[in-house]
Chains A and B, each alone.
Chain A
Amino acid sequence: MNKELTREERTDALGGMGCKRKRVEDARFTQGKGNYVDDIQLPGMLQGDFVRSPYAHARVKSIDSSAAMALDGVIAVLTAEDLAPLGLHWMPTLAGDKQMVLADGKVLFQGQEVAFVVAKDRYIAADAVELVEVDYEELPVLTDPFAAMESDVVLREDLLGDGGSLPDGAHGPRKHPNHIFTWEVGEKDATEQVLDEADVVAEETVYYHRTHPCPLETCGCVASMDKVNGKLTLHGTFQAPHAIRTVVSLISGIEEHNIRVISPDIGGGFGNKVGAYPGYVCSVVASIVTGVPVKWVEDRMENLMTTAFARDYHMTGKISATKEGKITGLHCHVTADHGGFDACADPTKFPAGFMNICTGSYDIPTAYLAVDGVYTNKAPGGVSYRCSFRVTEAAYFIERMVEVLAIELSMDAAELRRINFIKKEQFPYQSALGWEYDSGDYHTAWDKALKAVDYDGLRAEQAQRVEEFKAGKTRKLMGVGLTHFTEIVGAGPVKNCDILGLGMFDSCEIRIHPTGSAIARLGTISQGQGHATTFAQILATEIGLPADSITIEEGDTDTAPYGLGTYGSRSTPVAGAATAMAGRKIRAKAQMIAAYLLEVHDDDVEFDVDRFVIKGAPEKFKTMKEIAFAAYNQAIPGIEPGLEAVSYYDPPNMTYPFGAYVCVMDIDVDTGVTDIRRFYALDDCGTRINPMIIEGQVHGGLTEALAVALGQEIAYDDMGNVKTGTLMDFFLPTAWEVPNYETDHTVTPSPHHPIGAKGVGESPHVGGVPCFSNAVNDAFRAFGLRHTNMPHDHWRIWKTANDLGLHG
């Protein structure tokens, strides 16, 4: 008989919550054994490729595909005309709009899908694309949303009513043919009154530029229609496979049980893989028409130019305070550039996502937000790039406005934040724009962060640097970037969160095997987050079986329970909660089995790490492994055989992770080159499931934040040409550009989440962008700068310095 392990040793042996369990996914990813969409090869598979518009706005007068069809190996060239009889030349978007699958008489952005070539191999398909002749008539191009709202050029004639009238859109009345919606939250009159009567009001216009999630793996799919059994199998890069199944069923008319959607390994999503793209529809149609599988995988340029972008918010703010610095009101207006179609991925009732979290970490009694969505000749999208719905925009806005207010008040920006934070005892806190913040302890996090970086020392050094600069002894300035962010993640409660009418719950189904191992399936899908590692840890702690004995499976709609997928940091808050709740159902049944086996009443046994023990007599116990075996091999009166559970979890509230970040940056005033000397990130994501994975998430999110803040953008010229269509110009940082990150944490568990976890994957991006940007802006504060827009690449920083007269 082995020596009896201590309780601590038994806990460690589980590899449960709180331990730095190594990622079980990494063996296959680091050995090139992953299975991505483009790895999938099916017998007879054809390849699809798009003819795309070179123009940002044009009529399509004719399409001649005869030369392409004459090329050996070309099977079909689909146009809108071919899709129209099926009603598939347009498709619904997640935002209540509709989008052309293939150009229906006109194109609205450069790179828009015009025709879909299906050929025997990828090379023939590319050759055929060049042979399709499209006759375009160029139309005036609108790339500026403000100009679009004044223009006589109508981008979307399809949305005009009789006689050119303007019927309501999906989100209410429209003010102009190029206007999509107005979304208002808060008290307009009361806010304006507060601003009118305030001691101090700071105003600023903050543009959060258009960028792109740019996952390493681009989007793609393999559609395979089996005409014999009528079943469609669709492999694809889907962040929400079940939602895709439902959408495919609704628009194709194929019954949902005959559609199997599989998300295999996914090489990053960051919001780019939430929506439905024309490539998916065309592949499905092509497979139905040809009866063989059809693959479509976009290249890097197609990914950057046509699949969902992020941000593009023009935000005008007013923030008021007493002369002592107590914030009294916040007013925000956003002009949101949505491109040619409104394909934002937001819960249905939130056309601007959760932008109304823009009061941030501060106790702001009165606030008002209005967002106007506008059509332009740019690619559609507006997805949440490594953030919950529009939360980076909100965090960037408030963290810039607080800095501008600090300048207006001549106050230290750290102190201004401190006196305005929501206090620990105010939680749950009802914000002026409608959210109930579940928990937080901002002052503790803030003080810890400032102490860690010796904030007062940094300010003293900065002041000295300014003196040296003015004396001509240095050409480098120093910026101290501060950010305290509050996220809203884990969408969400079905009462107010749905996508296309699908409530945003999530799910977990567990099967315990007789020998004490298990499989759990979830409605989410990992794209690199490490779900197979962390969800097994949650279960190990909940059900007392080792994490190494638990398989986590996601992404196959034929086997996984229905869920809304992975984005917006919702996996842990929603599916993680479902996992814990399903585990507790397993435990409840195990308790009855244990009591029977120990010949005591159910209430006389209690769970202890990996077993049930008799209360007061812990030497009498049954391990979960023994209980699992009994569940399948022993007739127990009144209890069904087997040990399985399923839980669908509808969260009562969102979760509100927060963090305190500090960036110390040196800036070469002459070249605009930035050097990040130090970056400190304190995150509070509630209960921490795997500290190593959290650290990796923070590193990744900060790196994408650095990218966005310092150079990553989708830029257009006046003709609507994309200027940043390759990785030469679209900034994707490498190890060379990335500084060392110092990570830290506090733990404020969510009071309503079964294990107190809040989600962390997106926090560092939400907090990182304003922190890097604030560092740049702060470096020039002593020279009179209030605000300069991102991206802070070399020439824009140089221009800022030049405009301030710093080049002599």
Chain B
Amino acid sequence: MIPAAFEYYRPKDMAGVLSVLEEHGDDARVVAGGHSLIPMMKLRMAEVPHLIDLQDVAGLTGISIDAGRIRIGAMTTQHEIINHAGLTDAAPIMREASLQIADPQVRYMGTVGGNVANGDPGNDMPGLMQCLDATFILVGPDGERSVAARDFYEAAYMTDRADDEVLTAVEFAAPNAGYAYEKQKRKIGDYATAAAAVLITKEGGACASASIAMTNLSDTPVYSADAGAALVGSSLDDASMKAAVDAMLGDIDPTEDNRGPVEFKRHAASVILRRAIENAWDRA
């Protein structure tokens, strides 16, 4: 648990961050809360000769809500998300999901940017962002660009972010929908055995729209468009519920680990998704 030697940088602005990234390419990494990267470095599973600490960079924190559009700076902690009354009003699923991430000590340090940018399939925020159809803001040498969360993840720890880019914020529309984040885990601090983020809107007793994403059931978060589509137009009868679950099962690809074999994970995913849908439907 002793990391290899690394250079530590603590720039005051984004230009300083980008210049280090430009100079050292994939030998440099930014660190936000450090809850994914630092353990990997201590285990010597990640070698980062140049570590850039973002905490002094201005403009990366804070939550703003403007005309139904929510922007969360990358360095905003899960603790801040949980305790932001305006965000909880506008997007209560953010608080519900954040409260299921690790434990309070981790949430004081863990950030939304680190959680979504690292590409760890165990992280909860990526699936949540896909459910919310969020946009990620990236800054690089050529300026700013945005990427849909649903297009961002390529494989475990592999994302659309280039080595010389920094994820600076996430943005999404206030959902105004019934919501639920359901997570099964073995213990506090664990990644999900299965987790589901669900948003549902209702019109005249029928489902008008549904967005469903699953966590830690593949090497990326899984946004299941077909699962959501299976619910639209229904009043959540057994057939449409089963169709949604079957569609989700067609999209996930869990692997066996200490949480259990594939067969169990698929069963747990089904149960968790059903519960999330029922919960979101009740709140819609």
Residue positions of A touching B, CB distance < 8 A:
49, 122-123, 125-127, 130, 299-301, 670-673, 711, 715, 723-724, 727-729, 731, 733-734, 736-737, 793-795, 798-799, 802, 807
Question: Can you report 21 residue pairs joining A to B where beta carbons are below 8 Å apart?
Answer: A49-B2, A123-B2, A126-B4, A127-B4, A130-B4, A130-B44, A670-B267, A670-B271, A671-B184, A671-B271, A672-B268, A724-B258, A728-B190, A731-B186, A731-B187, A734-B103, A734-B188, A736-B187, A793-B260, A795-B193, A807-B267
Give residues 270-284 of B contacting A (CB, 8 Å). 271-272
Check B258 against A671 for contact (C-beta < 8 Å). no
Check A793 against B186 for contact (C-beta < 8 Å). yes
* A723→B260 CA distance, assembly (Å): 12
* A204→B187 CA distance, assembly (Å): 31
Provided the pairs A715-B258, A794-B268, A798-B267 are in contact, do residues A737 and B188 lie with their beta carbons within 8 angstroms? Answer: yes
* Interface hub of B4, B103, B186 (most chain A Cβ within 10 A): B186
Check A794 against B44 for contact (C-beta < 8 Å). no
Q: Note all chain A residues with C-beta closer than 8 A to B271.
A: 670-671
* A200→B187 CA distance, assembly (Å): 42
Check B2 against A122 for contact (C-beta < 8 Å). yes
Is B259 in the interface zone, CB < 8 Å from A?
Answer: yes
Provided the pairs A130-B44, A734-B188 are in contact, do residues A300 and B1 lie with their beta carbons within 8 angstroms? Answer: yes
Query: How near does chain B come to A286, taking the closest CB pair, in angstroms?
Result: 18
Is B16 in the interface zone, CB < 8 Å from A?
Answer: no
* A403→B284 CA distance, assembly (Å): 48
Check A794 against B260 for contact (C-beta < 8 Å). yes
**The one of B1, B103, B186, B191 that contacts A794, using a Cβ cutoff of 8 Å:** B186
**The one of B5, B186, B190, B261 that contacts A127, using a Cβ cutoff of 8 Å:** B5
Is B157 in the interface zone, CB < 8 Å from A?
Answer: no
Check B1 against A723 for contact (C-beta < 8 Å). no
* A727→B1 CA distance, assembly (Å): 13
* A672→B271 CA distance, assembly (Å): 11
Query: How near does chain A come to B173, taking the closest CB pair, in angstroms?
Result: 32
Is B189 in the interface zone, CB < 8 Å from A?
Answer: yes
Is B264 in the interface zone, CB < 8 Å from A?
Answer: yes
Interface residues on B, range: 20 to 34
**Supplied contacts A300-B1, A794-B193, 14 more A-B pairs, CB within 8 Å:** A125-B2, A126-B4, A130-B4, A670-B271, A671-B271, A724-B258, A727-B189, A731-B187, A734-B103, A736-B187, A794-B259, A795-B193, A798-B267, A807-B267
Query: How near does chain B come to A725, taking the closest CB pair, in angstroms?
Result: 10
Q: Note all chain B residues with C-beta closer than 8 A to A49.
A: 2
Query: How near does chain B come to A670, taking the closest CB pair, in angstroms?
Result: 5
Check A711 against B267 for contact (C-beta < 8 Å). no
| Residue of B with least CB distance to A670 | B271
| Residue of A with least CB distance to B187 | A737
* A51→B261 CA distance, assembly (Å): 33
Give residues 4-38 of B contacting A (CB, 8 Å). 4-5
Check B258 against A729 for contact (C-beta < 8 Å). yes
**The one of B2, B44, B184 that contacts A673, using a Cβ cutoff of 8 Å:** B184
Check A799 against B264 for contact (C-beta < 8 Å). yes
Check B268 against A736 for contact (C-beta < 8 Å). no
Query: How near does chain B come to A511, taking the closest CB pair, in angstroms?
Result: 44
Q: Note all chain B residues with C-beta closer than 8 A to A130.
A: 4, 44
Check B189 against A795 for contact (C-beta < 8 Å). no
* A125→B184 CA distance, assembly (Å): 40
Check A126 against B2 for contact (C-beta < 8 Å). yes
Check A736 against B188 for contact (C-beta < 8 Å). yes
Provided the pairs A670-B271, A736-B187 are in contact, do residues A798 and B4 lie with their beta carbons within 8 angstroms? Answer: no
Q: Note all chain A residues with C-beta closer than 8 A to B2.
A: 49, 122-123, 125-126, 299
Check A795 against B1 for contact (C-beta < 8 Å). no
Query: How near does chain A come to B128, taking the closest CB pair, in angstroms?
Result: 21
Q: Note all chain B residues with C-beta closer than 8 A to A299.
A: 1-2
* A122→B42 CA distance, assembly (Å): 13
Q: Note all chain A residues with C-beta closer than 8 A to B186.
A: 711, 731, 793-794
Check A733 against B259 for contact (C-beta < 8 Å). no
Check B260 against A798 for contact (C-beta < 8 Å). yes
Query: How near does chain B come to A707, taking the closest CB pair, in angstroms?
Result: 10
Query: How near does chain A come to B6, taking the closest CB pair, in angstroms?
Result: 11
Q: Note all chain A residues with C-beta closer than 8 A to B193.
A: 794-795
Query: How near does chain B come to A741, taking the closest CB pair, in angstroms?
Result: 18
Check A798 against B189 for contact (C-beta < 8 Å). no
Q: Note all chain B residues with C-beta closer than 8 A to A123.
A: 2, 5
| Residue of B with least CB distance to A299 | B1
Query: How near does chain A come to B196, taking the closest CB pair, in angstroms?
Result: 13
Q: Note all chain B residues with C-beta closer than 8 A to A733.
A: 187
Q: Note all chain B residues with C-beta closer than 8 A to A670.
A: 267, 271
* Interface hub of A126, A300, A301, A711 (most chain B Cβ within 10 A): A126
* A299→B190 CA distance, assembly (Å): 20
Q: Note all chain A residues with C-beta closer than 8 A to B258.
A: 715, 723-724, 729
Check A795 against B187 for contact (C-beta < 8 Å). no
* A737→B186 CA distance, assembly (Å): 9
Query: How near does chain A come to B204, taking the closest CB pair, in angstroms?
Result: 30
Give residues 187-220 of B contacting A (CB, 8 Å). 187-191, 193
* A299→B186 CA distance, assembly (Å): 24
